[in-house]
Amino acid sequence: MAIFKGAGVAIVTPMKENGDVDFERFKNLIEFQIENGTDSIIVCGTTGEASTQTHEEHLETIKYCVDVVAGRIPVIAGTGSNCTETAVYLSKEAEKIGVDGLLLVSPYYNKATQKGLYAHFKTVADAVRIPILLYNIPGRTGCNILPETIVKLCREVENIVGVKEASGNIAQVAHLAALGGADVDIYSGEDGQIVPMLSLGGLGVISVLSNVAPRQTHEICQKFFDGDVEGSRRMQLEALDLIDALFCEVNPIPVKKALELMGMIGGHLRMPLTEMEPANAERLEKAMKAYGIL
């Protein structure tokens, strides 16, 4: 059975001005998501700035999320690393905390071969029992997990069940869907491609957009599942300007600014991420107003 179906939020990690995690605001964000129909919470991913958290902060953030959610929807923890040993450690600790699944990004900077990727993911999966989604985002990692490798992992490693596909390459996703069939759960990692992914058999999205528009992101998926493909398509197209604005600078700079504009967080970032350029912030605010969330 899939870990979830529909819209999962790649949730931000709110920070205080001094850089500490703002757990009070984090609780409010989690409740906002659940109240608005989000189907899963993905904690400590790219959008959650996990790459600048210490291991202790990373695991504390995961535990806090699990405790607040309290089983109401699945929680998936990002525990990937370019170091296999580190990914094993974080994954085992997250499993002890009680997450429902793990999201493992491909090793970045090292740029492993497909053989190396297979060995890395299998080693991590063998260390835990909970289900795992691979995370293919070559634009950030410099490394593309090929469809053949994803299918091989899903078929040969019991608890590797699918992939968050953020290559942006629809042809590659189609090839993956054709090769993998029911053996690979595919989730869009691109908010602008939710409906195309669903049309290829995808089960949903792991979404940045959902941070600011959880109800709408859920509905894009639900309408498609309910057979209202035209309604789903229309909602996807209506969201495109906002999606483009949310990615006009590197994620999560714009989405944190958006949540700040909504009065939900302080918008603070950890270096090397920096404050959004004024012209881009103006563009984002305009898109949010046009979409009706400001």
Domains of the chain (ranges, CATH numbers): 6-226 (3.20.20.70)
Mean pLDDT computed over 36-47? 98
Radius of gyration of the chain from its Cα atoms, rounded to whole angstroms: 18
Residue 36 has pLDDT above 90, yes or no: yes
pLDDT of 286 higher than 90: yes
Q: What is the pLDDT of residues 239-261, one digit of tens each?
A: 999 999 999 999 999 999 999 99
Judged by DSSP in three states, 145 sits in coil
Residue 1: is its pLDDT beyond 90? Answer: no
Question: The tokens of 19 are what?
Answer: 């850089």
With bands split at pLDDT 50, 70 and 90, how would you rate the model's confidence at 50? very high
Structure tokens at 14: 């709110």
DSSP assignment letter at 22? -
Average pLDDT value for residue range 32-45: 98
**For residue 54, pLDDT beyond 90:** yes
Measure the CA–CA gap between 236 and 231, rounded to whole angstroms.
9
pLDDT tens column, 101-132: 999 999 999 989 999 999 999 999 999 999 99
289 counts as catalytic = no
| The pLDDT value given to residue 205 | 98
pTM (predicted TM-score): 0.97
pLDDT tens for 174-188 read 999 999 999 999 999
What's the whole-number average pLDDT of the chain? 97
How far apart (Å, rounded) are the C-alpha atoms in residues 36 and 45?
Answer: 21
User: Residue 111 — left, alpha, or beta (φ > 0 → left; ψ -120 to 50 → alpha)?
Assistant: left
Categorize the per-residue pLDDT at 57 as very low, low, confident or very high, splitting at 50, 70 and 90.
Answer: very high
pLDDT score at 116 = 98
Catalytic member of 63, 64, 118, 135: 135
| List 63, 152, 164, 256, catalytic entry | 164
pLDDT, position 236 = 98
134: pLDDT strictly greater than 90: yes
DSSP state of 15: B
> Is 64 annotated as catalytic?
no
Q: Percentage of the chain surpassing pLDDT 90?
A: 99
Percent of the chain with pLDDT over 70: 100
C-alpha separations of 291 from 3, 209, 238, 245 in Å: 30, 12, 8, 11
